Amino acid sequence: MPRTADLPARSAGGTAAAGTPSAPQRALQRLGLVEDIDLALHLPLRYEDETRVTPIAALHDGEAAQVEGVVRSVQVETRPRRQLVLRLRDAGGELVLRFLHFYPSQTKSWAAGTRLRVRGELRHGFFGPEMVHPAVRVVEPGAPLPQTLTPVYPASAQLPQAYLRRAIAAAMQRAPLHEVLPAEALPPGLPPLRDALRLLHQPPPQVPLAALHDHSHPAWQRLKFEELLAQQLSQQQARRERESLRAPALAPRTGALADRLRAALPFALTAAQQRVVAEIGADLARPAPMHRLLQGDVGSGKTVVAALAAARAIDAGWQCALMAPTELLAEQHFRKLLAWLEPLGVTTAWLSGSRRGKLRAEMMARVADGRAALVVGTQAVIQHDVRFHRLGLAIVDEQHRFGVAQRLALRHKLRDQDLEPHLLMMSATPIPRTLAMSYFADLSVSTIDELPPGRTPVLTKLFDIGRRAQVVERVRDEIGRGRQVYWVCPLVQESEALDLRNATATHAELGAALPGHEVGLLHGRMPAADKAAVMAKFSGGSLPLLVTTTVIEVGVDVPNASLMVVEHAERFGLAQLHQLRGRVGRGSAASVCVLLYGGPLSETGKARLRALAETHDGFEIARRDLEIRGPGEFLGARQSGDALLRFADLDDDAPLLQHARRVAPLLLAEHPQAARAHVQRWLGASAEYLKA
């Protein structure tokens, strides 16, 4: 392991007490700068050019520059406010230096006749050219200029730049930056790692600043490639390690439960569904654990694919567990799977946080002794006291909403039998290609890329919140025709930070505006029994209007619902809006999604709503969401331990990513020690999180 950074003994404020970290040292630790390698990889935000002095007469308004001269006068002025004013003169001109905050001692250290080197931005004030609060250093005549650009690092108020620069320079001397990769693994034209970091920390003045700031310089390219390669190596190594583990081989058999389920379904599978069922079936038949992501757009029919996979496991004598992030979604799955599988003789169990006492004990007993072949629930499924008899398949819906530890806990439920369960993760948020190539490189991916017949396109309309009354009239017309309506609110209670209508207030307002029509209310804080009762009424068609929060984002299927209103749509993520829109258009009636937004919209907000209005393609929406918001929304907690990319950009650096994908398997096969050293340098313990 690299040694802990040997920080300067004296901070800007003086010497720390023996054995007690100084304020700057504590600030370094808060930033995660503990080891020498941490400091070496803490790269500048920008650079200042202190390698040259500009004559005062040659300065331009708005230009940041460094000048050197002798103080002609210094005085403290009191109007319009107390300030320190210096006049600095060089051979060709004079400049005012103005300080609104200063120490009395500075009037002496910057006395008339003192030579100063000053850096700041020129502006023309009432008394001529001036700099306000420039950086100042007292220098002797002929003092040498720096030979490199001055880096400006991400820091904090307790961490002076000068202290941080000294700490990084010292760490660079000690950090283990030797080459661990064979030369043939690197893209051509990239410098050695130590040279790249030395240039980024102390670039010579002839290096184009634009290439440093936009990260196109070869030194930046080396850093980004190193990072992408570490990610690829860890992902591909995780895949190889899983291949060495054992899982139950769930071979198909004649007259199988899956075949009977398929025959009993009231609809035919699409070609895409048949393809992914075959892909999953091939994985389940192998004695190595499946680690597959099933992705498909809203309404593409992922649940029936999961049901067929569950039937395959159950028919082979193993249990299947399905875990969903919310109780409402888990219950929707439970009801649908119950309707399909119970008539075929499958016994099920339901586990959730709201189920307690004797009922929970009974469900847990069914799971433990194997009577319950299918277990559906929320995080309650992975609680430590839940014991499975023979867990062969684990299905995780909306996988990005679960943390790494939660998914690992579900996988470990079979560990006492020296076997791993097969793992099928589902997501209605399609993964853009570059994301699948990087963060999900360890997964097998199955894609349902067509919708079942009969799904009607949903017309999306944007309305300013000022036209809310018109939207209410449209709701009245829709329910008057016997249709049903969702009205989605983003908050359950008032927030001082966000001026949003809460669900309770909206429920009351719509009830008053639509007399004679029952208005339901659904939100996450309601008791489970109340939520189930409301959803049962809405699903049964007796409740025309449902005011709800995002608990209905996924999994809710009401074919008679033909209108959705999303209030303050600008507060939602693009993928979330697409999910919500997918709750309508599930029947034969023409459906509309109205996005009510409050202005003024940010550029991000405009881009998000415009994307939703322009396309219904979940893959295109996912691509735009990646552009707008980055990978976090797709990954959820997958990358715990700061494993998100720090330097590389998936769009800009696609060629580097492609190269990393090509060389990673070669390194693992031919240079395994180099591969391990590289992953340890870049990811350390975080690599473990990529395996979940």
- Fold (topology level) of 458-615: Rossmann fold (3.40.50)
User: Cα separation of 272 and 451, whole Å?
Assistant: 9
Q: CA angle, corner 188, sides to 187 and 191, nearest 5?
A: 90
Q: 52-138 with 458-615: one CATH topology? A: no
Query: Quick one: pLDDT at residue 393?
Result: 93
Q: CA angle, corner 589, sides to 588 and 590, nearest 5?
A: 120
Query: Quick one: pLDDT at residue 13?
Result: 36
Q: What are 47-101's pLDDT values in tens digits?
A: 988 999 999 999 999 988 999 999 999 999 988 889 999 999 999 999 999 999 9
Q: Which helix (H) or strand (E) holds 294?
A: strand 291-296
- pTM of the shown model: 0.68
| Architecture in CATH for domain 52-138 | Beta Barrel (2.40)
Q: What are 575-592's pLDDT values in tens digits?
A: 778 888 888 887 778 899
User: Cα separation of 364 and 38, whole Å?
Assistant: 47
The percentage of the chain sitting over the pLDDT mark of 90, rounded to a whole number, equals 46
For the chain, helix (H) and strand (E) counts, in that order, are: 23, 24
User: Cα separation of 675 and 669, whole Å?
Assistant: 9
User: Cα separation of 223 and 207, whole Å?
Assistant: 17
Say whether 605 sits in a helix, a strand or coil: helix
Q: What are 617-666's pLDDT values in tens digits?
A: 777 777 777 666 655 555 544 433 334 578 988 778 889 989 999 999 99
φ, ψ at 325 (rounded to 5°): -75, -25
Tokens 């020498």 — which residue?
A: 36
Q: Where in the chain are the domains?
A: 10-47+150-214, 52-138, 257-448, 458-615
* pLDDT over 60 at 14, yes or no: no
Residue pair 299/451 in contact (Cβ under 8 Å)? The answer is yes
Q: What share of the chain is helix, strand, coil (3-state, %, to 5)?
A: 40, 20, 40
Q: What are 260-272's pLDDT values in tens digits?
A: 999 999 889 999 9
Query: Quick one: pLDDT at residue 132?
Result: 94
The tally of CA atoms less than 13 A away on the side-chain side of residue 55 is 5
The percentage of the chain sitting over the pLDDT mark of 70, rounded to a whole number, equals 85
Confidence of residue 614 (pLDDT cuts 50, 70, 90): confident
Mean pLDDT of the chain: 84
Identity of the highest mean pLDDT range in 123-127, 169-173, 294-298, 385-389: 169-173
Q: What are 462-512's pLDDT values in tens digits?
A: 999 889 999 999 999 999 999 999 999 875 544 544 434 578 888 999 999
Residue 471's alpha-carbon distances to 351, 476, 594, in angstroms, are: 40, 9, 8
Query: Quick one: pLDDT at residue 411?
Result: 61
* pLDDT over 60 at 368, yes or no: yes
Q: What are 194-214's pLDDT values in tens digits?
A: 999 999 999 999 999 889 999
Residue 516's alpha-carbon distances to 108, 511, 561, in angstroms, are: 82, 9, 19
Query: Quick one: pLDDT at residue 638?
Result: 41
* pLDDT over 80 at 387, yes or no: yes
Confidence of residue 187 (pLDDT cuts 50, 70, 90): very high
* 390: region left, alpha or beta (phi > 0 left; psi from -120 to 50 alpha): beta
Q: What are 415-465's pLDDT values in tens digits?
A: 556 788 899 988 877 676 666 666 666 778 888 888 777 677 789 999 998
Which amino acid, residue 130? E
- Fold (topology level) of 257-448: Rossmann fold (3.40.50)
* pLDDT over 60 at 402, yes or no: no
Query: Quick one: pLDDT at residue 552?
Result: 67
User: Cα separation of 572 and 578, whole Å?
Assistant: 10
For the chain, the C-alpha Rg in angstroms (whole number) is 32
* pLDDT over 90 at 687, yes or no: no
